[in-house]
Structure 1
């Protein structure tokens, strides 16, 4: 057992070169391997996605890429790749690839959410809880955590405003692997350092994410055979209410048009679509009052993704009741209920209330990263109390989907995004 545990704390040696150069036609991009002096040792990444995979992190330090007049992000715009010892306020366990890519995907989401204090919690490179609010960063942290406290365990939490003492105390009361912020208020780092293995990252560039969001980056995907796919990074076209398109479709000479969302629904849809940029497809996201109420990720069919997300929402809701009322997780309560009649009664009551509350989904809006090929997924979500939906549009059955929201009582709103948001 001790040897197995050691596997996760061992730093792997990597033989990757100090410099990396990529030539695209007559343009050359120059990268330098990122290393840190931690505890007297100069090392790069602890390891890659798994403990037996050597890995290296590179920062772009030279060259520029311009394609068809579009300038891509370049040197001097690094965030995670530009981290130095100065930014690692506490290294904790030496960082590995998954820690930093979780933070990176949080920044990918936060680039569209600069308008309000926002917190995103990442686990396995997917958001498990996200919230934005006018009530300050501590409230955003709290709401993001309670959106899914189960998945938040051992995750990375990233905020877009200076971290306050109130927020730090909440973070310290639970288990996180990484916390990142543009700045930390006086005394906050001392609070966080009570968790010796916590990685505390100061990333000043978070304060200018809205500037970076204006230009794409070069997105490189490696194939199993060693080949590469290069693409322009995804850029959300939904930055304001005016960017949504009316949900309309024509079938056999009949025009179908959906209700326009209210201002509050629009605000939640903008937030949900921004979070969607960091979610593995096929996915759907439920949001209410600026907080994720359900996040479905990486499923093969859209209605199946909606079904699993709804099931998860009920479990998370029941867990929240169990934690606050019984001081144990829903799974601990299930175990205790096997031999304790009082716990069994409490479990039955909690499950009943979670079902009646439909997992806290009523009043939520919904976004889908791809269009609905059939109305079944829409009907399923409407049954959970969804009030507004945003989706790309473009399906042959858009008219059926619009008809579904129009037939709902009360009528459900729908808009099109005009773009798909797949993330593979």
Structure 2
């Protein structure tokens, strides 16, 4: 075990070349490996690349696109000079903390992938293992981070935070009260580093180009998926085409000569949450279902094989996280600590029962939220999960042969549930 522990603190090194060229029938993209000359405690300077890959025994390298323009069909792919994560310099690492590894970098990248659709307001995304565990808009950046953190304090532990605005002192104080691996923002205001650098292992990264992140909505990149036999699947990167209320489509379906139409139309607030939730959905591993309310995630279900199962998991997670935040607000300790203390006879059982009763009464904070599904519901049972918990609206891709059943579920609900289609799915694997 001690050997494994030491692996996590070791920079593995790699044997990947400094330059890599990928050719597409006469068109070439040129990449340069990113290394950083990082000062050491003894005064020396060590030049290294990525700490290690997904695990400490996997060599890894980060490459930045530095040359070449690729056009395939009618798609012109992103050009050099638009670096974000791949362009991070030593100067951008305001505190190196632990040398960055592959997961740190991909967490930041996926945070940017979500934030690029949320740049109109202060927003924060907290990620863990390349999935968001909390995402929120806020009146201020501090408000946005606090809301995102309260979505799931448990998963946020050791997470990466990516923010749409320069970090100010109020936000820095909230960040410093949590154990985090990475904090990333377009800038850090005077005095914030003094607060954040109290955590010596925290990676503090400035990416100034976040200020123009909205431009990346229109960029496509070549997405490589490597296979066990050494083969590669190449695809265009996904684009979110649901950006305004006009992009939403009415929930209408036909079955056996009859037209089915969702009776209730969404409110302005529900439409805002549909657009926010669909933006967050683009960074969540499929199959996924989200519950969002007032520009903030309530429950996030990720990576499941069946849609009704992931809808139930998102409910389960919402209940657990709601219990934890209620307990923390009431007693100043996590729910798990309260449960343990009760089981050991160190705290009164009624304290835990009070939390449990409120969670059940409030249904984990789900009532009034919008249910987001990254693809259609093949049966109504998935939508029924959210409806039983009190969602007020649903956004899904549409296109199932049984869409009429899901429309019936919304119309039969008391009160009725609004539903819209995207006409686009949002799978991410």
TM-score class normalised by the smaller sequence: over 0.9
On the 8 A contact 2:341/2:347 being kept in 1, the answer is no
Question: Partners of 2:305 and 2:266 in 1: how far apart?
Answer: 29
Q: Partner of 1:221 in structure 2?
A: 225
On the 8 A contact 2:132/2:284 being kept in 1, the answer is yes
Superposition TM-score, scaled by structure 1 size = 0.98
- Alignment equivalent of 1:55, drawn from 56, 60, 82: 60
Q: Partner of 2:26 in structure 1?
A: 26
- Per the TM alignment, residue 323 of structure 1 is displaced from its structure 2 partner at its CA by 1.5
Alignment size in residue pairs:
423
Instruction: Establish whether residue 192 from structure 1 lines up as the match of residue 196 from structure 2.
Output: yes
Question: Partners of 1:309 and 1:72 in 2: how far apart?
Answer: 35
CA distances 1:340-389 after superposition (whole Å, capped 9, x unpaired) = 27432211221111111111101100110010000011111001110111
Q: Partner of 1:350 in structure 2?
A: 355
Q: Partner of 1:311 in structure 2?
A: 316
Question: Partners of 1:6 and 1:54 in 2: how far apart?
Answer: 16
Q: Partner of 1:35 in structure 2?
A: 35
Question: Partners of 1:386 and 1:197 in 2: how far apart?
Answer: 41
Superposition TM-score, scaled by structure 2 size = 0.97
CA distances 1:120-177 after superposition (whole Å, capped 9, x unpaired) = 00001000000013x1111001100011100000000000111110000000011000
On the 8 A contact 2:290/2:301 being kept in 1, the answer is yes
Q: Which runs of 5+ in 2 are unaligned?
A: 40-44
Instruction: Establish whether residue 324 from structure 1 lines up as the match of residue 324 from structure 2.
Output: no
On the 8 A contact 1:333/1:343 being kept in 2, the answer is no
CA distances 1:58-94 after superposition (whole Å, capped 9, x unpaired) = 0000001112232111200110000011111111000
Question: Partners of 1:372 and 1:269 in 2: how far apart?
Answer: 16
Q: Which runs of 5+ in 1 are unaligned?
A: none
- Alignment equivalent of 1:99, drawn from 74, 85, 104: 104
- Alignment equivalent of 1:174, drawn from 158, 178, 185: 178
On the 8 A contact 2:157/2:180 being kept in 1, the answer is yes
* SS of aligned partner of 2:167: coil
- Alignment equivalent of 1:405, drawn from 378, 401, 410: 410
Correspondence 1:292-311 to 2 at 5 A: 292-311=297-316
Question: Partners of 1:13 and 1:279 in 2: how far apart?
Answer: 30
On the 8 A contact 2:123/2:135 being kept in 1, the answer is yes
- Per the TM alignment, residue 311 of structure 1 is displaced from its structure 2 partner at its CA by 1.0
Instruction: Establish whether residue 389 from structure 1 lines up as the match of residue 394 from structure 2.
Output: yes
* SS of aligned partner of 2:343: coil
Instruction: Establish whether residue 244 from structure 1 lines up as the match of residue 248 from structure 2.
Output: yes
Question: Partners of 2:358 and 2:37 in 1: how far apart?
Answer: 53
- Alignment equivalent of 1:141, drawn from 140, 145, 148: 145
On the 8 A contact 1:30/1:60 being kept in 2, the answer is yes
On the 8 A contact 1:336/1:344 being kept in 2, the answer is no
Q: Partner of 2:12 in structure 1?
A: 12
